[in-house]
Chain A
Amino acid sequence: GAVVSQHPSWVICKSGTSVKIECRSLDFQATTMFWYRQFPKQSLMLMATSNEGSKATYEQGVEKDKFLINHASLTLSTLTVTSAHPEDSSFYICSARDLWRSAGGSSYNEQFFGPGTRLTVL
C-alpha cells in the first residue's frame, strides 16, 4: 500500500515551452501533496504544498506564476512548469500525505514519495 506515481519519469523540452508533471496517490487519498525540487548532488527543497480544492502554498522564493499547481482531486496533483528555461532543469519529486494515516493527531510516518521526474530544458 501507499504507492505514489509520477508521470512522466523524465522529460526533455525546448526552452519556452510548458511541461506538466502529474503526481498520483494510487491506493490512498491525499488532501495534501508536496512538491520538491532537487538539483544534482543537493538536498530536496520544498517548492509548494498542494491542498485539494484550494490554492497551493508556495515557499519563499518560488514563483507561483511559473510553477502552477493544481490539486483537483484527492488522488491527483499536477505541477506545470510554464515557459521553462534551462535553469529549471532539475529533479522534481512529489509526496502525498495519507488522509487517514494523518488523522487523529498521532505522530508517525504518513507521507509517501513518488519516484520523481527528471526535467531537462534545452
Chain B
Amino acid sequence: AQKITQTQPGMFVQEKEAVTLDCTYDTSDPSYGLFWYKQPSSGEMIFLIYQGSYDQQNATEGRYSLNFQKARKSANLVISASQLGDSAMYFCAMREGLTGTASKLTFGTGTRLQVTL
C-alpha cells in the first residue's frame, strides 16, 4: 500500500482564491511527521509546512495551513490568496518516527498547481 497518496495530479486555481491540495497517509507508527514541499521548475525543494502527529493544533505558516485530520489520516494543504508564483509542483511527505531516529522521508506523487489570472 502507498504510504502517501496524492490523488490530484493537477489543479487549477484563480489568482487570489484559496486552494486545497489533498494528501492521505498510511502508517502504524504513532509518532510521525507530515511535510509539504513546493518544487518550482528550477527543481529545488522548498519546505512549506510541518505537522507532527502529536500536535494538537493545525500548523500554519503565512498563507499555508495544514488541515490535519488524524482519524482520517489526511493532511491537506490549504493555500490562501493564491499568487502566480505559487504555480509549481507540490509534494506531501511523511517521516515515520521522531527525530533522533534515522527515519527517512517518503514522498507522494505530487500535485501540479497552476495559478491563473
Contacts and interface: CB of A to CB of B under 8 A. Distances in A.
Contacts of A8: none
Contacts of B107: 43-45
A93 B31 contact: no
Contacts, number: 71
Contacts of A91: 43
Given A34-B104, A43-B108, A108 B44 contact: no
A110 interface: yes
A109 interface: yes
Contacts of B33: 107-109
A73 interface: no
Nearest to A57: B102
Given A49-B104, A93-B43, A115-B44, A110 B99 contact: yes
A118 B47 CA distance: 20
Contact of B52 (A34, A108, A111): A108
A106 B44 contact: no
A16 to B, nearest CB: 26
